[in-house]
Structure formats: structure tokens, C-alpha cells
């Protein structure tokens, strides 16, 4: 099965990041000699699991950057990430949308084809509607020593959230509102727990919260089944949203082959 993939490329550059990378759209920030979105696109295109790719963002600026690809589509982004996602879904619905969608933001230039394929392979072992990768603190700090990330301690260990998702197409409309709230709160473990109720907050505070408990409550709140997948690839969790992240990317990444 091939997945339709959506790159959310409508994000405005954060004020601190913009001071050292003067681009309105973060997708166009240059790393090495290539725009940041190029790294995400190349990792997707090299995956045998990915068919069509939709880029949701400023089409006139992004189309010249990514060149010609018969399986590459563009749609204008919305006012926020979920609106951009909705626009991409509407475009794909007119083209017979795939059973599952892979969604990525444009600010994860560290992402690799191997990390994407591993996430997809793990998801195919379960019958859930929504999949979300998490990586352990040990994995992150081994790969990117000193990188600043938000961690949450669960019974199974200390983890940070990833920056890509898989969702079954049949439940997209059903979860649109709750997904927007999840995106807004994703970098605050306490805010995420609050969304799911006082019980989870207390279990989080007293370090008694487990992955199955979160998954169960997610299903109760959203009406769909969710599954957290532990990834061995730190690349799924490190995004570029502050100057230190951009400095890391500039030092670490080798330009993708020019398109």
C-alpha cells in the first residue's frame, strides 16, 4: 500500500528564528544551500511507501523550489496547520485519496527515509486510526547531544513527541477539531494531559501515567483509536523552530541532491 503524504508548508517563521534567517515562510529557510522543505521532500520521495505528495503552502513560492514531479501536487495553505491540512485533504479527495495519510511539517529537515519507513512499518502492525511517534530521551541525546526538547516521563520511560503522523482517511473529518487542539498543545505535556482530564493530569504529576492509559483516554475523548509508536530514530522529533535548532541543522545536514 502506498500512502499519500502531506507536507504542511504554510508556517510563518518564528520571530527569534527570523532574526537570523529572514524568511517569512519557514519552508524557505536555507540550510546549506537548499530550502528546508527540500530535505523533507527528498526523504519522502525516496520512500517506496509514499506515492503522491501534496505541499500545502504558498504555491507561487514553493513550486519553483521543488521542481517537476508527476506525483507532486500543490495547494494553498490555510491560516493555521489544520486549515492547511484540510485544504490538502480536499485536493486529495478529488483524486481518490489513499486509505491512510502521512502528515509532516516542513520544519523537520533531519527526517530520513529510514525513519519514515520504520514509522510506517510499525503502524501497519496495528488496527488503530491515528499513529504518533515518540522517541526516548536516550535516543535523542545520543543522536543530537545537548539538543533542547520537551520531555515527559511515563511509566515506560522518558520520551519526546515526534513531528509526523499517520491517520486513516475515513476518520479525518471526525477528528479535525480535536487534532487542531492537539497540535496547539503538543509542546506542553501538562496542557496535553489537561485536555484529557484531571485523572491523567494527576497520574502525570505523580509519574504513574503510562502509554496505554494515554491511548485509552485518547480514544474516549476523540472517538478514534490512537497508537503511540516508539521510534528508534531521533530524526522524527527534532524540529527547527529556534536559532539553536537552525545552527544544529547547518552543522549537521548535508545538502540533498539538487532537484
Give me the pLDDT at residue 141, please: 92
CATH of domain 1-108+244-259: 3.90.550.10
> Strand 165-168 relative to strand 157-161: parallel, antiparallel, unpaired?
unpaired
Contacts of 248 (CB under 8 A, 6+ apart): 144, 147, 238
Q: Is the pLDDT of residue 233 over 80?
A: yes
Alpha helices (H) in the chain, listed in sequence order: 15-20, 36-45, 59-66, 81-93, 113-123, 137-143, 172-185, 189-195, 198-205, 211-222, 243-252
Return the pLDDT at 109: 94
CB atoms within 10 A of CB 94: 7
Q: Name the CATH topology of 110-239.
A: Spore Coat Polysaccharide Biosynthesis Protein SpsA; Chain A (3.90.550)
In this prediction, residue 164 carries a pLDDT of 93
Per-residue pLDDT tens digits for 9-62? 987 766 677 667 677 788 999 998 899 999 999 999 999 999 999 999 999 999
**Residue pair 118/43 in contact by the 8 Å Cβ criterion:** no
Mean pLDDT of 212-236: 91
Length of the chain: 259
What's the pLDDT score for residue 15? 67
101-145 pLDDT, tens digit per residue, is 999 999 999 999 999 999 999 999 999 999 999 999 999 999 998
- pLDDT for the residue numbered 112: 96
Domain-wise residue ranges, the chain: 1-108+244-259, 110-239
Write out the three cell numbers for 131. 499513529
Is residue 65 predicted with pLDDT exceeding 70? yes
- State yes or no: pLDDT of 206 exceeds 60: no
- CATH topology agreement for domains 1-108+244-259 and 110-239: yes
**Residue 154 falls in which region: left (phi positive, over 0), alpha (psi -120 to 50) or beta:** beta
pLDDT(76) > 70:
yes
Ranking 3-12, 165-174, 193-202, 231-240 by mean pLDDT, the lowest is: 193-202
Mean pLDDT in residue range 81-94: 90
The predicted pLDDT at position 176 comes to 76
Amino acid at each position: 500500500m502506498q500512502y499519500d503524504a502531506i507536507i504542511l508548508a504554510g508556517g510563518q517563521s518564528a520571530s527569534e528564528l527570523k532574526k537570523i534567517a529572514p524568511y517569512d515562510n519557514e519552508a524557505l529557510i536555507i540550510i546549506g544551500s537548499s530550502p528546508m522543505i527540500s530535505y523533507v521532500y527528498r526523504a519522502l520521495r525516496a520512500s517506496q511507501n509514499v506515492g503522491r505528495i501534496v505541499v500545502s503552502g504558498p504555491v507561487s513560492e514553493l513550486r519553483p523550489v521543488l521542481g517537476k514531479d508527476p506525483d507532486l501536487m500543490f495547494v494553498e495553505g490555510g491560516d493555521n496547520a489544520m486549515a492547511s491540512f484540510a485544504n490538502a485533504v480536499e485536493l486529495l479527495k478529488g483524486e481518490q485519496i489513499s486509505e491512510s495519510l502521512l502528515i509532516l511539517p516542513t520544519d523537520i529537515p533531519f527526517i530520513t527515509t529510514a525513519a519514515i519507513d520504520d514509522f510506517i512499518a510499525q503502524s501497519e502492525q496495528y488496527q488503530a486510526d491515528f499513529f504518533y511517534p515518540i522517541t526516548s530521551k536516550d535516543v535523542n541525546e545520543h543522536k543530537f547531544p545537548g539538543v533542547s526538547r520537551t520531555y515527559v516521563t511515563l511509566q515506560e520511560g522518558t520520551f519526546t513527541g515526534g513531528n509526523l503522523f499517520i491517520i486513516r482517511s475515513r476518520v479525518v473529518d471526525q477528528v479535525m477539531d480535536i487534532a487542531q487542539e492537539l497540535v496547539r498543545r503538543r509542546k506542553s505535556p501538562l496542557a496535553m494531559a489537561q485536555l484529557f482530564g484531571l485523572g491523567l493530569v494527576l497520574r502525570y504529576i505523580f509519574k504513574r501515567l503510562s502509554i496505554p492509559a494515554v491511548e485509552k483516554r485518547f480514544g474516549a475523548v476523540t472517538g478514534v483509536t490512537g497508537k503511540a509508536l516508539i521510534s528508534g530514530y531521533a530524526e522524527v522529533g527534532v524540529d527547527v523552530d529556534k536559532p539553536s535548532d537552525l545552527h544544529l541543522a547547518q552543522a549537521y545536514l548535508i545538502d540533498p541532491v539538487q532537484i
